[in-house]
Amino acid sequence: MHRRRHSLLALAVTAALALSACGGSDDDGGSGGSGGSGSGEPVPGGTAAIGMVSEPRTLDPAYLSNNLTTNALVGNALYGSLVTNDPVTGEVSPSMAESVETTDGGTTYRLVLREGLTFSDGTPLDAAAVQANWDRARSVELRAPVIAVAINITATTPVDPRTLEFTLRTPTLAFDQTIATSALNWIASPAALAGGQAALDAAPIGAGPFVLESWTRGGAMELVRNDTYWDAPRPYLDGLTLTAQNDAVQRFNTLQSGQVDAILNNSPVITQRAEDAGIAVAVPSEPNGGSTVVFQTQTAPFDDVRAREAVYKAIDLDVVQSAVFNGAGTVPRSLFGEESPFYTGEYLSGSDPERAQELFDELADEGTPVEFTMVTFPTTEALAVAQSMQSQLAAFDNVTMEIDNRDFAGAQGALTGGQFQASIAGLQFVDPEPQLYSGLYSTSFLNFSKIADPEIDEALDAARLTADESARTEYYTTVEERVGELYPFIIWSATRENVLGDLQGVELYGTGSVVLSGAWLDE
Amino acid sequence: MTLLGTLRKVARSLLVVLLVTFMVVALLSLAPGSVATIILGPAATPESEAALISELGLDRPVWTQYLDWLGNAVQGDLGTSLLTDLPVTDIIAERLPVTLELALLAQVIALGIAVPLAIAAAARPGSVVDRITSALASASLSIPAFVAAPILVYFLALQLDLFPVSGWNDLSEGIGPNLESALLPAFAIALAEIAAFQRLLRTDLVGTLREDYIAAARAKGMSPTFVMLRHALRPSSFSLITLLAISTGRLLGGTVIVETLFSLPGLGSLVVNSITSRDVIVVQGVVAFIAVVYVALNTAVDVGYGLLDPRVRKEARA
Each residue of A384-436: pLDDT tens digit? 999 999 999 999 999 999 999 998 888 988 998 899 999 999 999 999 989 99
Determine the length of chain A: 523
CB contact under 8 A, B42 and A12: yes
A chain contacts of residue B38, beta-carbon cutoff 8 Å: 8, 57, 408-409, 412
Residue ranges of E strands in A230-331: 239-244, 262-265, 281-285, 288-295
The count of other CB atoms within 10 Å of the CB of residue A397 is: 9
Task: Give me the mean pLDDT over the A103-127 stretch.
Answer: 96
Among A42, A37, A26, smallest CA distance to A521 is for A42
A chain contacts of residue B165, beta-carbon cutoff 8 Å: 250, 253-254, 256-257, 259
CB contact under 8 A, B43 and A145: yes
CB contact under 8 A, B42 and A253: no
B42 vs A135, which has greater pLDDT?
A: A135
d(CA A161, CA A145): 28
A chain contacts of residue B278, beta-carbon cutoff 8 Å: 409
Interface test with B, best of A1, A5, A149 (most B CBs within 10 A): A5
Q: For residue B308, what pLDDT is reported?
A: 65
CB contact under 8 A, B38 and A416: no
CB contact under 8 A, B166 and A145: no
CB contact under 8 A, A145 and B41: yes
Closest CB to A416 among B37, B181, B260: B37
State ipTM.
0.79
B1 vs B279, which has greater pLDDT?
A: B279
A4 vs B149, which has greater pLDDT?
A: B149
Q: Is A85 helix (H, G, I), strand (E, B) or coil?
A: strand
Contacts A–B by Cβ distance under 8 A = 183
Of A193-207, A344-358, B40-54, which range is least confident? B40-54
Q: For residue A75, what pLDDT is reported?
A: 97
% of chain A at pLDDT higher than 70: 92
Which residue of A lies nearest to B267 if distances are taken between CA atoms? A218
CB contact under 8 A, B265 and A219: yes
Strands A370-376 vs A399-405: parallel, antiparallel or unpaired: parallel
Mean pLDDT (chain A, rounded): 90
CB contact under 8 A, B265 and A12: no
Q: Quick one: which H or E segment has residue A51?
A: strand A47-52
> Rg (Cα) of chain B, in Å, rounded?
24
Each residue of B213-248: pLDDT tens digit? 888 888 888 888 888 888 888 888 888 888 888 888
Q: For residue A199, what pLDDT is reported?
A: 95
Interface test with B, best of A143, A182, A221, A405 (most B CBs within 10 A): A143
The count of other CB atoms within 10 Å of the CB of residue A90 is: 25
Q: For residue B306, what pLDDT is reported?
A: 64
| Smallest Cα distance from A227 to chain B, Å | 26
Which residue of B lies nearest to A427 if distances are taken between CA atoms? B42
Q: Report all structural domains of chain A as residue ranges with CATH numbers, in order of start.
A: 9-283+497-515 (3.40.190.10), 288-493 (3.10.105.10)
Each residue of A63-89: pLDDT tens digit? 999 988 888 999 999 999 999 999 888
Q: For residue A4, what pLDDT is reported?
A: 35
Each residue of A17-64: pLDDT tens digit? 333 323 333 333 344 555 554 457 899 999 999 999 999 999 999 999
A chain contacts of residue B167, beta-carbon cutoff 8 Å: 1-4, 219-220, 243, 254, 259
Which residue of B lies nearest to A409 if distances are taken between CA atoms? B33
| Smallest Cα distance from A135 to chain B, Å | 17
Residue A432, preceding peptide bond in cis (omega within 30° of 0)? no
d(CA B147, CA A517): 40
Q: For residue B215, what pLDDT is reported?
A: 87
| Smallest Cα distance from A323 to chain B, Å | 22
B chain contacts of residue A196, beta-carbon cutoff 8 Å: 85
CB contact under 8 A, A259 and B277: no
Q: For residue A439, what pLDDT is reported?
A: 95
Interface test with A, best of B276, B282, B283 (most A CBs within 10 A): B276
CB-based contacts of A355: which residues, under 8 Å, 6+ apart?
A309, A310, A313
Q: For residue A7, what pLDDT is reported?
A: 37
DSSP chain B: --HHHHHHHHHHHHHHHHHHHHHHHHHHHHSSS-HHHHHHGGG--HHHHHHHHHHHTTTS-HHHHHHHHHHHHTTT---B-TTT--BHHHHHHHHHHHHHHHHHHHHHHHHHHHHHHHHHHHHSTTSHHHHHHHHHHHHHHTS-HHHHHHHHIIIIIIIS--S-SS----GGG-HHHHHHHHHHHHHHHHHHHHHHHHHHHHHHHHHHTTSHHHHHHHHTT--HHHIIIIIITTGGGHHHHHHHHHHHHHHHHH-HHHHHHTT--SHHHHHHHHHHTT-HHHHHHHHHHHHHHHHHHHHHHHHHHHHH-HHHHHHHH-
A chain contacts of residue B91, beta-carbon cutoff 8 Å: 217
> Confidence class of residue A2 from pLDDT cuts 50, 70 and 90?
very low
Closest CB to A3 among B33, B168, B276: B168
Each residue of B252-265: pLDDT tens digit? 877 888 998 898 99
CB contact under 8 A, B38 and A144: no
| Smallest Cα distance from B253 to chain A, Å | 16
| Smallest Cα distance from B300 to chain A, Å | 32
CB contact under 8 A, A216 and B265: yes
Q: For residue B172, what pLDDT is reported?
A: 86
Q: What is the dihedral of CA A188, A189, A192, A198, to 10 degrees?
A: -10
Which residue of A lies nearest to B273 if distances are taken between CA atoms? A7
Residue A9 has pLDDT above 50, yes or no: no
Interface test with A, best of B82, B90, B98, B166 (most A CBs within 10 A): B166
CB contact under 8 A, A446 and B42: yes
Each residue of B193-219: pLDDT tens digit? 998 999 999 999 999 988 888 888 888
d(CA B153, CA B150): 5
Interface test with B, best of A53, A416, A444 (most B CBs within 10 A): A416
| Smallest Cα distance from B159 to chain A, Å | 9
CB-based contacts of A259: which residues, under 8 Å, 6+ apart?
A1, A2, A49, B164, B165, B166, B167
**Angle B62-73/B280-308 helices, nearest 10 degrees?**
50
Closest CB to B83 among A57, A140, A378: A57
CB contact under 8 A, B41 and A198: no
Interface test with A, best of B29, B81, B85, B165 (most A CBs within 10 A): B165
d(CA A90, CA A72): 17
CB contact under 8 A, B157 and A253: yes
B chain contacts of residue A71, beta-carbon cutoff 8 Å: none
CB contact under 8 A, A409 and B85: no
**Angle B310-317/B280-308 helices, nearest 10 degrees?**
100
Q: What is the dihedral of CA B9, B12, B16, B19, to 10 degrees?
A: 160
